[in-house]
């Protein structure tokens, strides 16, 4: 029973992982100009949202400076977050197939590393984009962090189930 449940969850995670790969590929396939325009647009919306929350009005000159200053950290945060999600999903898939926690973690991080490297190689061939070793490292750190979060959550859930069964 428990194994079937795990396998069903692994299938859901595989579908989500495939969807994530499609999103990553789509973003990486955009030329440098389009990619920059999206980042700028998201930065502008973020500053607009902060403007509403704080109730202050930002002058146009200052707005352009803030958008420019926010774009790079926003891009790197998005890199980290999407690969953290990948780390969670990969670890969850491996949970069904690999017994040892440490091996699951190492395989998940290796998977994310190879995915990040492949993504950067893909970007190298897109006009206006380039491959970055630092992005591969950032993405891998995101995946490692996501895998740790997933590992902690699954370990806590297993501990809770064992405790619950012991009390029955």
Would you say 139 and 119 are in contact if contact means Cβ atoms under 8 Å apart?
yes
pLDDT at 60: 65
User: Residue 112: which of 130, 131, 88 has the closest Cα?
Assistant: 88
Q: Let me know: does 136 contact 117? Beta carbons within 8 Å.
A: yes
What pLDDT does 36 receive?
72
Amino acid 84: pLDDT: 98
Q: Which residues of the chain have pLDDT under 70?
A: 1-2, 55, 58, 60-61, 168
pLDDT tens profile 114-152: 999 999 999 999 998 989 999 999 999 999 999 999 999
Single pTM value for the model = 0.83
pLDDT value at position 2? 59
Secondary structure letter of residue 38 according to DSSP: H
CA-to-CA distance for 56 and 44, rounded, in angstroms?
15
DSSP letters, 49-92, are HHHHHHT----HHHHHHHHHHHHHHHHHHHHHHHHHHHHHHHHH
Query: CA-CA-CA-CA torsion for 11, 15, 20, 26, nearest 10 degrees?
Result: 150
Predicted confidence at residue 1, as pLDDT, reads 43
User: Which H or E run contains 162?
Assistant: helix 133-167
């Amino acid at each position: 029973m428990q194994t079937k449940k795990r396998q069903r969850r692994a299938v859901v995670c595989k579908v989500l992982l495939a969807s994530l790969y499609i999103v990553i590929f789509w973003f990486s396939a955009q030329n440098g100009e389009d990619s920059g325009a999206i980042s700028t647009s998201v930065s502008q919306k973020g500053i607009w949202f902060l403007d509403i929350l704080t109730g202050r009005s930002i002058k146009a000159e200052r707005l352009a400076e803030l958008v420019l200053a926010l774009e790079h950290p926003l891009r790197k945060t998005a890199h980290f977050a999407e690969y953290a999600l990948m780390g969670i999903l990969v670890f969850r898939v491996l949970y069904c197939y690999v017994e040892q926690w440490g091996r699951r973690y190492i395989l998940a991080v290796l998977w994310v590393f190879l995915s990040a490297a492949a993504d950067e190689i893909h970007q190298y061939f897109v006009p206006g984009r380039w491959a970055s070793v630092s992005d591969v490292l950032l993405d891998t750190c995101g995946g490692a962090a996501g895998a740790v979060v997933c590992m902690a959550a699954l370990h806590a859930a297993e501990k809770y189930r064992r405790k619950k069964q012991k009390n029955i």
